[in-house]
Structure 1
């Protein structure tokens, strides 16, 4: 990701904020994929169809994220809405519902087995990577880069 052509055809370097955002988006996708694999160790593992669907989605999202270096505003908004919006919502609905139903984080941590704790850690890392990646994607240098293309 060294340069993307502008509307005039002149290549411009991809700003560090966009490069780091891409790296963090890919980190989030990797954490999601790892979480699915760790879930295979749990009492109710994902089915082969669920695994296939997840990895197809992760592959498509990775391709979309890698397209950010082109500087196309539509790609930035697609990543922001799909991964930053819908994806984040899908990650927090389950734990938020559990907390609202009276779940105790302390009791959970005291009784969770290794794979469950690993899934939880991967989910936290996933969400953190998404939040930082999304923030970087809309920093002034990133916005200027997308505005030029």
Structure 2
């Protein structure tokens, strides 16, 4: 069964090599940049919440505390993207990429559907509303870019070759 060297053996006509999780592939720049963009999007959301304190109807303290807690948890999950475990990629995509983006665009889309216009908003909005809108726009752009980077070929390979414990790499016998 063993081919004479530790960590290698044959399984039928396949040669297997066990790669310890500590020797996982290097973090691709696409994943690193995606993480930075996700964190930037979270910070833009937090900044928007703080800017809304200057709005005519500011958010309640409890609402801000809940948002801050959610942003903290999301930040921790985003940092886990660097581990290479696919579960974090899909969690971030679903929670931040899909649900988060939907929550960001539903209010402006509803305003447009109710007969509002971007031009009317721009001429009638207060300074805090304009800053909040700019932060929301930045937030959406960062999310879209972060999602695209998570599915860059280098990122896909990184998530495909990294597992929670060990990775078994198989190749036909005699091929290295």
2 CA distance for matches of 1:34 and 1:26? 12
Aligned: 1:63 with 2:76: yes
Which segments of 5 or more consecutive residues in structure 2 lack a partner in the other structure? 1-17, 163-176
Secondary structure of 2:25's match?
A: strand
Question: Which has more strand, going by share of residues?
Answer: 2
Any idea what the Cα deviations from partners look like across 1:53-111, whole Å, max 9, x if unmatched?
A: 00000000000000000000000000000000000000000100110111011111011
Q: How many residues align?
A: 143
Secondary structure of 1:8's match?
A: strand
Instruction: Report the RMSD for the aligned CA atoms in angstroms.
Output: 0.9
Aligned to 2:19: 8
**Once the 2 structures are TM-superposed, how far is the Cα of residue 12 of structure 1 from its aligned partner?**
1.6
TM-score where L is the length of structure 1: 0.94
Aligned to 1:4: none
**Matches of residues 73-88 of structure 1 in structure 2 within 5 Å?**
73-88=86-101
Of the three residues 140, 144, 152, the one matched with 1:139 is 152
Aligned: 1:34 with 2:34: no
Larger radius of gyration: 2
TM-score where L is the length of structure 2: 0.80
Question: Which has more helix, going by share of residues?
Answer: 1
